[in-house]
Amino acid sequence: MRTHDPLWTSPRVRRLMAAGDAGSLVRLGREARGWRQEDLGDRVGCSASTISRLEHRAAPGDVQMLRQIADSVGMPRLVLGAVLGLLPARTTTVTAQVREEDDPMRRRELLAWASTAAAASVLGSPLPAAAAPLSGLDDLLVFGPPTLAVEPTAEAAALAVQASRADVLACRYDALARALPQRLALAQASRGEPGQRASAELFAVAARLCIKLGDDRLTAITADRAVTAAAATGAPLVLAEAHRMVSSAHRRHGQYGRATAIAVRAADQLAGTRTPDTAGRLSARGNLLATATYSAAKAGDRDTAHALLAEARGCAVQLGRDTPAAAGGYFGADQVSLHEVSVHHLLGDAGAAVEQARRIAVQGLPRERRARLYLDLARAYELWGKPDQTLRALTLAERAAPQDVRRSSVRTLAVRLLHQPRPVPGGRDFARRIGAI
pLDDT tens profile 326-375: 555 568 888 899 999 999 999 999 999 999 999 999 988 889 999 999 99
Q: Is residue 390 part of a domain?
A: yes
Enter the DSSP assignment of 405.
Answer: G
- What whole-number distance in Å separates Cα of residue 52 and Cα of residue 65? 13
37-to-7, 45, 230 alpha-carbon distances in Å: 19, 12, 46
C-alpha 165/C-alpha 182 separation (Å) is 15
Q: How far apart are CA 315 and CA 248, in angstroms?
A: 20
Q: 187 and 110: one domain?
A: no
DSSP labels, 219-235: HHHHHHHHHHHHHHHT-
- pLDDT higher than threshold 90 for residue 433: yes
Both 74 and 7 in one domain: the answer is: yes
**Whether residues 76 and 106 fall in one domain:** yes
Both 127 and 165 in a single domain?
A: yes
Cα–Cα dist 128/303, whole Å: 48
Among 60-74, 265-279, 398-412, the least confident range: 60-74
The total of structural domains in the chain comes to: 3
Q: How far is CA 414 from CA 9, 78, 378, 428, 432, in A?
A: 49, 46, 10, 8, 9
Same domain, 134 and 107: no
Q: Say if residue 168 is in the same domain as residue 66.
A: no
| 427 within some domain | yes
On whether the CB atoms of residues 372 and 338 are closer than 8 A, the answer is yes
Q: Within this chain, do residues 68 and 97 fall inside the same structural domain, yes or no?
A: yes
> Looking at residue 387, which CATH number applies to its domain?
1.25.40
Residue 297 lies in a domain: no
The CATH number covering residue 69 comes to 1.10.260
67-114: pLDDT as tens digits: 788 888 888 877 777 776 554 444 444 445 454 444 444 444 344 433
Answer with the one of 216, 234, 252 that is the final residue of a domain.
Answer: 234
CA atoms of 182 and 122, how far apart (whole Å): 8
Handedness of CA 144, 150, 152, 156 (dihedral sign): negative
Q: 0.85 exceeded by the pTM?
A: no
Domain span at residue 223? 117-234
> 357 φ, ψ to 5°?
-60, -35
Residues 145 and 65 in one domain: no
State the Cα–Cα distance between residues 166 and 122, nearest whole angstrom: 12
Per the domain annotation, does 289 fall within a domain? no
Alpha carbon of residue 133 to chain centroid: 11
Of 100, 115, 130, which marks where a domain is finished?
Answer: 115
